[in-house]
């Protein structure tokens, strides 16, 4: 296994700031400083409201007649739900019949008809509809739209405002699968480059290309790669994710907003991966945006800063790190692992899972596993099993 190091990297670590230059192979490490708030996911309301109960209905046939037992008039029928059933009103004898044809939801259950009246024969109301939802996930404003021109020659540019109010133009690339359907909510994966790397390298075929090799293994997925900023102006080897004044977390939020406006994104399946500085960025996302991202796949990263900056919200996490890494120590990802274990309410025991040497912790919240893959004797590099491990981990969601 080839180990890749960072040449000429400056070791500046202050509450998460590590700026590393890239050597042969272009890997690198970096830190993370600052924090930002989470981003609320969007979703569509489903269902159609049911019809209101009608006017005065027939009295009960046996015993005292119901007083004012309203029979339901015809409610607005749903497109796919069943009509409402009869509800009884009245006092002693059979109650007056409730509303027929209660409004049904587009995909949820039909509305319930009037419930039985009490001693005074109060009328039952036609039920409202159950909430429905589009198949495959929530919908966004970009559903049904023609995507903008994409590809390696067409990076997108947006303005990003950090916590100090500074506005910076940021670039990113989008890769859409050939199977993309603008009417179907689609999973989206963000990939963050290593120190000294570039977004354009992630969409190419070289080291770290094809989005760290995950893209070919995860079809029907939109991939996004943002371009990091230079810690030293004019020095491309210092590109990365220092998150100064929360600028990189703000960039992630701005890209998500842009993607949701232009593509049909499944907001319940937004994920993040990266190596070295990109792993550090993914750990920061898992800490600060777990309510937006469904899962992270981290390679040789670290979580810096106080746990108080993290949101208490579960997020599925898959992490690998070499225990002989002298560029970004494995302790940085152990910190991230422990944070995710706490957020997901996991236990302290674990079981071996594929690929080796991975282990999955027991007792985590349903749907939020934490998989830890420490590699004995490995340095700062991407292990051979990482791409398939991350793709398979993401595919379950």
> What pLDDT shows up at residue 204?
92
Three-state SS at 245: helix
| Cα separation, 173 vs 192, whole angstroms | 11
Ranking 42-56, 286-300, 369-383 by mean pLDDT, the lowest is 42-56
Domains and CATH numbers, the chain: 156-395 (3.40.50.1820)
> What pLDDT shows up at residue 207?
78
> What pLDDT shows up at residue 123?
37
> What pLDDT shows up at residue 208?
81
Q: Is 210 left (phi over 0), alpha (psi -120 to 50) or beta?
A: left
Checking if the pLDDT of 372 tops 70, the result is: yes
Per-residue confidence at 1, pLDDT binned at 50, 70, 90? very low
Checking if the pLDDT of 135 tops 90, the result is: no
> Mean pLDDT for the chain?
76
Checking if the pLDDT of 17 tops 50, the result is: no
Residues 6+ apart with CB under 8 A from 246: 34, 35, 36, 162, 163
Checking if the pLDDT of 78 tops 60, the result is: no
| Cα separation, 101 vs 98, whole angstroms | 10
Ranking 35-44, 360-369, 386-395 by mean pLDDT, the lowest is 35-44
- Which of 367, 322, 332, 331 is CA-nearest to residue 346? 367
Checking if the pLDDT of 333 tops 70, the result is: yes
- Which of 174, 172, 181 is CA-nearest to residue 146? 181
Q: Over the stretch 224-273, which tens digit does the pLDDT of each residue have?
A: 999 999 999 999 999 999 999 999 999 999 999 999 999 999 999 999 99
Degrees, nearest 5: CA angle 282-288-289: 80
**70, β-bridge pairs:** 56
Cβ-contact 330, 321 below 8 angstroms: yes
Q: Which residue has the higher pLDDT, 63 or 190?
A: 190
Degrees, nearest 5: CA angle 298-303-305: 165
Per-residue confidence at 62, pLDDT binned at 50, 70, 90? very low
Three-state SS at 133: coil
At 98, give phi and psi (nearest 5°).
-80, -175
| Residue that the structure tokens 């419930």 belong to | 115
Cβ-contact 299, 380 below 8 angstroms: no
Cβ-contact 167, 251 below 8 angstroms: no
> What pLDDT shows up at residue 41?
31
> What pLDDT shows up at residue 93?
37
Checking if the pLDDT of 334 tops 60, the result is: yes
Residues 6+ apart with CB under 8 A from 108: 46, 47, 81, 129, 130, 131, 132, 133
Q: What is the pTM of this model?
A: 0.68
> What pLDDT shows up at residue 246?
96
Per-residue confidence at 138, pLDDT binned at 50, 70, 90? confident
| Cα separation, 168 vs 12, whole angstroms | 23
Checking if the pLDDT of 363 tops 70, the result is: yes
CA dist 248 to 28, 265, 282, Å? 17, 21, 11
Checking if the pLDDT of 54 tops 60, the result is: no
| Residue that the structure tokens 């990109």 belong to | 278
Mean pLDDT of 361-365: 98
> What pLDDT shows up at residue 137?
56
Alpha helices in the chain (DSSP H): 199-203, 209-212, 247-262, 277-288, 330-343, 386-395
Mean pLDDT of 90-119: 37
Per-residue confidence at 308, pLDDT binned at 50, 70, 90? confident
Checking if the pLDDT of 305 tops 90, the result is: no
Ranking 51-55, 171-175, 317-321 by mean pLDDT, the lowest is 51-55
């Amino acid at each position: 296994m080839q180990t890749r190091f960072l040449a000429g990297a400056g070791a500046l670590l202050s509450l998460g700031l590590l700026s590393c230059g890239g050597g042969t192979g272009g890997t690198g490490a970096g830190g993370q400083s600052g924090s930002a708030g989470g981003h609320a996911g969007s979703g569509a309301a489903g269902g159609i409201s049911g019809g209101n109960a009608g006017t005065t209905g027939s009295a009960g046939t046996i015993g005292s007649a119901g007083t004012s037992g309203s029979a339901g008039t015809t409610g607005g029928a749903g497109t796919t739900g069943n009509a409402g059933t009869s509800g009884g009103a009245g006092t002693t004898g059979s109650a007056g019949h409730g509303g027929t044809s209660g409004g049904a939801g587009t995909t949820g259950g039909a509305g319930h008809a009037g419930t039985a009246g009490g001693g005074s024969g109060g009328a039952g109301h036609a039920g409202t509809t159950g909430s429905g939802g589009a198949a495959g996930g929530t919908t966004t404003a970009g559903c049904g739209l023609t995507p903008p021109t994409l590809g390696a020659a067409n990076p997108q540019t947006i303005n990003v405002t950090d916590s100090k109010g500074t506005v910076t133009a940021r670039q990113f690339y989008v890769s859409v699968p050939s199977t993309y359907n603008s009417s179907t909510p689609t999973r989206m994966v963000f990939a963050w480059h290593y120190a000294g790397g570039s977004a354009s390298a992630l969409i190419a075929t070289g080291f770290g290309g094809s989005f760290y090799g995950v893209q070919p293994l995860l079809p029907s997925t939109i991939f996004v790669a943002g371009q990091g900023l230079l810690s030293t102006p004019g020095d491309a080897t210092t590109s990365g994710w220092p998150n100064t004044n929360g600028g990189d977390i703000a960039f992630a939020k701005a890209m998500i907003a842009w993607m949701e406006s232009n593509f049909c994104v499944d907001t319940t399946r937004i994920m993040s991966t990266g190596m070295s500085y990109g792993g550090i960025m993914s750990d920061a996302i898992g800490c600060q945006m777990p309510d937006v991202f469904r899962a992270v796949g981290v390679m040789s990263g670290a979580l810096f800063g106080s746990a108080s900056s993290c949101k208490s919200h579960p997020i599925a996490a898959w992490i690998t790190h070499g225990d002989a890494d002298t560029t970004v120590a494995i302790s940085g990802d152990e910190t991230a692992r422990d944070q995710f274990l706490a957020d997901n309410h996991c236990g302290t025991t674990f079981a071996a899972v594929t690929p080796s040497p991975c282990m999955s912790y027991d007792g985590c919240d349903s749907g939020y596993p934490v998989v830890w893959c420490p590699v004995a004797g490995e340095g700062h590099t991407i292990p051979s099993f990482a791409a398939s491990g991350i793709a398979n981990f993401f595919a379950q969601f």
